[in-house]
Structure 1
Amino acid sequence: MSQKLLVTGATGQFGKLVLDALLESGKTKPADIIATSRDTAKLAGYAAQGVETRAADFDDPASLERAFTGAGRILIISTDVLDQPGKRLKQHLTAVEAAKKASVNHILYTSMPAPEASVIPFATDHLGTEEAIKATGVPYTILRNAWYMENLLLSLPRALATGRWFSSAGNGRISHISRRDLAAAAASALQSGSTESRTYTLTGAQAYTTDEIAALVTKATGKALDVVHISDEALAGGLKGAGVPDFFIPILVSFDANTREGHFDVVTDNAIAMTGRNPTELASFLETNKAALTH
């Protein structure tokens, strides 16, 4: 039975971190790691370390089956196509079918917390993928990753520049976790050799309201940040006025709505159990990244 570990989307930010975690652990020989991407030239640095690289395109079923053949445990990292409804799920289902045809031993997948209850438009992509994986009969590990701490670096600099953070999240709580901690958990799951089918929700150690996050940001940066609580409709209008693409506005608003309705208010110790270490604290992350927050 093959013990080769395969990572899709290996040129992406998350995929690279998973590869780094696998290599740094010393538990898996580089030759037993397969990194896939549409453009393998971008994986030259990993190839130089002994990692096998293979071409794989989520829009090309044959390329996926070729790439997956001979792999034992594969990590399907969810794609980032959000501007074409239905395409992301189609890509994921293509990858799942290719994994089954390639006779892999175990399928791992990066999902999101509580997709069955979420109001986020792309939650159905994750739920549909989870269901397809379960239907293959292949043992699986579903990694329901909470929101990246790094996502805060996309919105907070603009808010800090004005001192006001417009939000419709109300008093809802969200437990962020760093991308690096999630990648370490994914690498651990890949290397575990487990034959059981399990679903894990991976979160940070604490869930915070928007006001509490703002207070942590102020402490880390020394800059005042007041949360302005508004409706979903007002938030959508503000995003449109800021020039956010129309297709992305409902998605961004749904993040706050999902938080307000409690679907992100979950804290587990799964990340600790899988990595053997405590996840990065939000306060520590903000302090480390205060330059990016105030640029």
Structure 2
Amino acid sequence: MLIVLGATGNIGREVAKLMIDNAEQAVFLSRQPQKLQPQLNGHLVRAADLDEPASLERAMAGGTKLLLVSPNSAAMQRQQSNAIQAALNSGIQHIVKISGTPKSVRQDSVSAVGRAHWHIEQQLKAQAPAYSILQCNFFMQNLLGLQAGMVRKSGKITLPFAADTVFRFINTADIAACAVRLLTDDKVQSQTYNLSGQASSFQQLADELSRLLASRVNYKQIPLWLTQLVMRFKGMPKTQVQHQLEMTRLYQQGISDDASDAVQLLTGRPAISLPQFLEQHLAEFKQQ
């Protein structure tokens, strides 16, 4: 039986949809199962809290595989460690973990989240009977927040990256498809996968939007200090501001420049491209 954490998040929702569409039997864990149940067409939902190991063990009873995903936070390492230990105590044999941007996941990473992912990965490698680690680049869905808001408001995108800084945006639908493939295949071997899309940039984002909207969207690089000031002005939590600054510095250094065919390998099709994604979500960038 498959156990799914994080069914309300970007990736978890996509995983749940694929499992329902494919008639896969799974149990979805939530702190508030009564709110999640209506979305899952009668699939089993159990109450579980990442801060309460006993609740995790009860919820994972009878499970054979686990999707391990939770929000980036100061508590992520402790919470995911709780989930791993509960899975082992429950007899789960294979854990599929959604991890961070590949080059940020290091013991000495400048990113606190990257360091946390590294420690979680080491625990998995040392303790899990089998594991699959999906290290994921910049989510395309994140473009529907800050960047889409900029385009709707002013018709331009201003960020602290050079126009040619390489990004390999990845669609969470591709991440979910890879996760489901690993969760439903009994022949996979323990391995780490770099999930990334085609080489792109924020300049290409602006150019593609200009084409699709038939209206010029400009891209401009701004200083990092100004970005920090704007985030603080908008009232972002201090820990979130720090995470954004750490990841910005890493992306400026080119951490997203490694090509990968892992999506093709796992799903049998190429990763969704940036133009395809923008066509599907163009309404998010249009002025209201």
Q: Distance in 2 between matches of 1:274 and 1:225?
A: 35
The answer to whether residue 239 in structure 2 is matched with residue 247 in structure 1 is yes
Aligned residue identity for 1:135: A
Q: Find the aligned partners of 2:258 and 2:227 in 1 and give their Cα distance.
A: 24
1:109 partner SS: strand
Label 1:158 to 1:184 Cα distance change in 2 as closer, same or farther (>3 A).
same
Partner residue of 2:80? Answer: 92
Q: Which residue of 1 aligns with 2:139?
A: 148
Aligned residue number for residue 16 of structure 2: 19
How many angstroms does 1:52 deviate by? 2.3
Determine whether 1:166 maps to 2:152: no
How many Å separate the matches in 1 of 2:39 and 2:150?
A: 38
Question: How far apart are residue 253 of structure 1 and its match?
Answer: 2.6
Residue in 2 aligned with 1:272? 264
Aligned residues: 282
Tell me the CA shift for residue 256 of structure 1. Answer: 2.5
- The structure 2 residue matched to 1:262, chosen from 238, 254, 258, is 254
Over 3 Å counting, the alpha-carbon distance change for 1:20 and 1:47 in structure 2 is: closer
Could you say which residue in structure 2 is the equivalent of 1:10?
Answer: 7
Structure 1: tracts of 5 or more residues without a match: none
**Comparing 55-64 with 280-289, which one deviates more in the overlay?**
280-289
- 2:61 corresponding residue in structure 1: 69
Question: Where has structure 1 moved over 4 Å in runs of 4 or more?
Answer: none
Q: Does 1:113 align with 2:105?
A: no
Q: CA–CA distance in 2 between the matches of 1:154 and 1:118?
A: 26
* Distance in structure 2 (CA, Å) of the matches to 1:47 and 1:254: 36
Quote the offset at 1:175 in angstroms: 0.7
Query: Deviation digits for residues 130-188 of structure 1, max 9, x if unmatched?
Result: 11111214210001122211100111133212233222222321111111121111111
Within 1, Cα distance between the matches of 2:124 and 2:274? 32
Q: Quick one: structure 1 residues 75 and 209, their matched pair in 2 at CA, closer, same or farther if it must change by over 3 Å?
A: same
Question: What aligned pairs does 1:135-214 form with structure 2 within 5 A after superposition?
Answer: 135-160=126-151, 161-170=153-162, 171-204=164-197, 206-214=198-206
- Name structure 2 gaps, 5 residues minimum: none
Aligned-residue identity in percent: 27
Q: Tell me whether 190-199 or 88-97 shows the greater mean CA deviation.
A: 190-199
CA distance in 2, matches of 1:107, 1:208: 31
| Matching residue of 2:113 | 122
Q: Deviations over 1:197-234 (max 9, x none)?
A: 11111111x12122222211222223322222233222
Q: 2:128 & 2:232 partners in 1: Cα distance? A: 45
Answer yes or no: is the 8 Å Cα contact 1:111–1:126 preserved in 2.
yes
TM-score (norm 1): 0.88
Q: Provide the C-alpha distance between the structure 1 equivalents of 2:40 and 2:277, rounded to a whole number of angstroms.
A: 31
Deviation at 1:289?
1.2
Mean Cα deviation higher: 239-248 or 249-258: 239-248
CA distance in 2, matches of 1:242, 1:15: 28
Report if the CA contact (8 A) 2:181-2:266 is conserved. Answer: yes
Deviation (angstroms), 1:46: 5.9
Relative to the length of structure 2, the TM-score reads: 0.90
* Structure 1 residue 105 displacement after superposition: 0.9
Match in the other structure for 2:34: 41
Distance between the aligned counterparts of 1:254 and 1:228, measured in 2?
A: 20
